[in-house]
Chain A
Amino acid sequence: MAEVDYKALKNGGFMRQKQKNNFSLRLKVIGGNLTAEQIVTIANVSKKYGDGHVHLTSRQGVEIPFIKLGDIDAVKSELLDGGVHTGVCGPRVRTVTACQGSSICPSGCIDTYGLAVEISERYFGRELPHKFKFGVTGCQNNCLKAEENDLGVKGGYLIQWEKDSCVFCNVCAKACRTNAITVLEDRLEVNESKCNNCGRCVKSCPSGSWKGKPSYVLSFGGTFGNRIARGKEILPIVTDKETLFRVADAAVDFFAEYAKSGERFRTAIDRAGWDALQKALEAASHA
């Protein structure tokens, strides 16, 4: 048999197991969503080529363990027929994770899955100095843990109050967890330094007097493996997707330019300087 290119296999999502000639095959999943048809395909492949079980990974992915070296082509083709693609490992953009977001969850402020698909189409598999993870969470509840990603996106609302329809019921002031809203005799006062864009005023308002523009709170440089560091919010809230992608491009470019091979985004930022990153991101956001 020809010499096995383990690196190429790993790039294609085949993770070498401790059991010789067995691979745990990583699948491509976006935002933790799979169709019923995809799940059936995965189940069939697991039964036919694996040992009949799958592993749900820590980042919403699926791996099929105990795939034999000789079956790799057959496995890939059967998966593809069922609409399932293989994932990636190594120094590149990984699975884009997402919570269910505004299309399913009452708390969601943004369409997390739609955004995760767009991010994945733009960046998934891109070669970089080291792994790079995107995560998209729909609101401040942060079920998807945005700040543990190299680039985290957290949905929020940019809020605006409309006096005409307001019944001054006081619900928003109590729903607000940061006490940013004060109900006065003839108007509402918002302490913008306290507002964290959670959108609970919008969601709770019985008269629709709070309008919320879906927006993105971005965090950079999060990592939660060997090193644990929380991603930092160094930009004001972003209110449109075009700006979001310009900023994300700038972040990825910054990583590609400044990181040494095998170095995570966080370490690269720490060395190159947070000011330099902030400058690059601000320039991109104003472009």
Chain B
Amino acid sequence: MPEYPVDESVDITDVVCPVTFVKAKVAMEELEEGQVISIRMNEGEPVQNVPRSIKDEGHQILKLIDNKDGTCSLIVRKGREDA
């Protein structure tokens, strides 16, 4: 993914809702503001819900990449802590 250099990545395909969001949130907390993370998630419920939750937390969603293997990678830039 040359277009989106990422600082960190996390795979949440091994957990189910609502732990998907929790695992993503914990990973995001490790980042500094402005850093970019790639979150790999399953198609279906996770991809329908996690991006919206991430957005509601105040982070900036850059892209959702379809990995064509039943998973997607959400590229997110961490927002301000108090956002």
Chain A residues within CB distance 8 Å of chain B: 106, 167, 169-171, 174-175, 177, 200, 203-206
Contact of A174 among B51, B55, B56, B60 (CB under 8 A): B51
* CB closest residue in chain A, given B54: A206
* CB closest residue in chain B, given A175: B48
How many cross-chain pairs have Cβ atoms below 8 Å apart between A and B?
41
Contacts of B51 in A (CB 8 A): 171, 174-175, 204, 206
B56 in contact with A170 (CB, 8 Å): no
Contacts of A200 in B (CB 8 A): 48, 52
Q: Is B16 an interface residue (CB 8 A)?
A: no
Complex Cα spacing A170 to B48, Å = 11
Complex Cα spacing A203 to B61, Å = 13
Q: Spot the interface stretch: B7-15, B20-28, B30-38, B62-70.
A: B62-70
A206 in contact with B47 (CB, 8 Å): no
Complex Cα spacing A177 to B45, Å = 9
Complex Cα spacing A200 to B60, Å = 18
* CB closest residue in chain A, given B61: A206
Contacts of B64 in A (CB 8 A): 169-171, 174
Contacts of B56 in A (CB 8 A): 106
21 contacts between A and B (CB under 8 A): A106-B56, A167-B63, A169-B62, A170-B65, A171-B51, A171-B61, A171-B64, A174-B43, A174-B48, A174-B51, A174-B64, A175-B48, A175-B52, A177-B48, A200-B52, A203-B52, A204-B48, A204-B51, A204-B55, A206-B55, A206-B60
